[in-house]
Amino acid sequence: MYFRTLSNSFLSVALLVTAATSLAAAQGKSGAKVVATVPAGAFPVAVAINSKTRKVYVPNNSSASVTVIDESTNAAKTVADIGGSFANAIAINSVTNKIYVANTESGNVLVIDGATGLRIEVSDPNGGFPLAIAVDQGLNKIYVANYTTNNITVIDGKTNTTSTVTDPNGKGPRCVAVNPITHTVYVGNDQTSNITIIDGHTHTTSTVADPNAASPFAVDVNPVTNKVYFANFSSSNITVLDAATSNTTTVVDPNSFNPVGIVVNPRTNKIYAAAQFPGNVTVIDGATNQITTITNPLATQGQAIALDSSANKIYVANFLSNNVTVVDGATNLVSATVADPKAKAPYALRADRFTHRVFVANSQSANVTVIDGSR
């Protein structure tokens, strides 16, 4: 029971922003290369990295387990997801060294103590079908988006007790992100196509809508500019929320459809969205909202996107072409297309900005590709 693979959809009417198109550069010049393929469980579905401990965590959707990889050796071990089934999302609090896995079918969250390996399952009696999870390290709170019960579970990271936050205007919460400076939580609601804003201190909510947006699928925050970016799958556009005013702007890339992932580089104030079709990357200038389309002719069906902010590189997992696009953030050119012959259907990925290694969860080959991006 995996949830994220999606089909095509119609493009809604939206505000069109001037676009420039950047064709792919010659492939393979960046030096990024596959250095290992690590066995995982059935259908690895997400990736999270604790850069402090150099541990990588990959929940396996169909085998009720989490693969733990040591970055220094690429050695892996399997941790059973006791009482959990069909994981779909993962988040880490690197300060407390706790790992949180959202189990969609069983409706609970696996908590792993990274230091001791101890595991517990946390359940919210009011929550069900969790699809997304985010951590506020400063407040030590974990936010879980429950799709079918239309609410957000808040876990106290110290006690593992839960509370439930409900926005009566939001249905089908699909994605969640936290501004670590303001401690504000942003939730994209798939069914009502609007945004729930949660005050992390009081848990009070407000609702904002972009009239041009349909089915927000992914979200990321720029804490420097206090802006929030939502990738809207069904309307094939990006909502830019100015958190200070709650005003929204719609950004459209006419060359890209069905965005499924979005990342923000606060250092450069650039935003990158991965489109399922035709596998392009949309770059948004955070200062002007002007866009650039990055096209890789070797990429088919973008599925996930990751950022190495210190190297200013962007990585996109391409589900159907079985490869990873590498984008140079300084030039907006494709610097490499990396393929692992042992990998099939890359589904999720994450980059470690300290080691410049990228870990790609391959859903149909049950393994994890390790890419060295520093080469």
What are the structural domain ranges in the chain?
48-337
pLDDT tier, 30 (very low <50, low <70, confident <90, very high otherwise) = low
What's the whole-number mean pLDDT along residues 125-143? 98
At position 181, the amino acid (one-letter code) is I
Is it the case that residue 277 has pLDDT exceeding 90? yes
What's the pLDDT band for 74 if we cut at 50, 70, 90?
very high
Question: CB–CB of 116/107 below 8 Å?
Answer: no
Collect all residues with Cβ–Cβ distance below 8 Å to 67 and sequence separation of at least 6.
38, 39, 40, 41, 44, 57, 58, 60, 76, 77, 78, 79, 368
Please give the structure tokens belonging to residue 276. Answer: 């399922």
pLDDT digits (tens, 9 = 90+) for 49-60: 999 999 999 999
As given in the structure block, the two tokens for residue 53 are 């401990």
- Among all chains, which residue has been given the structure tokens 């520093």? 374
What share of the chain in percent tops pLDDT 70?
Answer: 92
Residue 97 in this model has a pLDDT that exceeds 50:
yes
Kindly indicate the confidence band of residue 31, based on its pLDDT and cuts at 50, 70 and 90: confident
Angstrom distance (rounded) from CA 260 to CA 219: 10
Q: Looking at residue 32, what DSSP letter applies?
A: -
CA-based R_g, the chain, Å: 19
The average pLDDT across 101-127 equals 98
- Flag whether pLDDT at 107 surpasses 50: yes
Task: Look at the domain 48-337 and name its fold.
Answer: Methylamine Dehydrogenase; Chain H (2.130.10)
Coil, helix or strand for 150?
coil
> Does residue 78 register a pLDDT over 60?
yes
Among 149, 153, 101, 104, CA closest to 124: 153
Between CA 129 and CA 193 the distance in angstroms is: 18
Which DSSP string do the residues of 261-325 spell out, in sequence order? EEEEETTTTEEEEEEEES--EEEEETTT--EEEEE-TT--SEEEEEEETTTTEEEEEETTTTEEE
| Residue 82 binned pLDDT confidence (cut-offs 50, 70, 90) | confident
Q: Pick left, alpha or beta for residue 224 (phi over 0 → left; psi -120 to 50 → alpha; otherwise beta).
A: alpha
- DSSP three-state, residue 38: strand
Residue type, 161: T
CB neighbours (10 Å) of residue 162?
18
Ramachandran area for residue 203 (φ above 0: left; ψ -120 to 50: alpha; else beta): left
User: pLDDT band at residue 375, thresholds of 50, 70 and 90?
Assistant: confident
- Rounded Cα distance between 77 and 70, Å, is 9
Percentage above 90 pLDDT, the chain: 91
Indicate whether 173 pLDDT > 80. yes
pLDDT for the residue 24: 39
Q: Is residue 166 within 8 Å of 204, Cβ to Cβ? A: no
Mean pLDDT (the chain, rounded): 93
**Spatial distance between the Cα atoms of 87 and 344, rounded to a whole number of angstroms:** 19
Q: How many CA atoms, within 13 angstroms, populate the side-chain half-sphere of residue 270? A: 21
- Give 12's DSSP letter: P
CA distance 167 to 173: 10
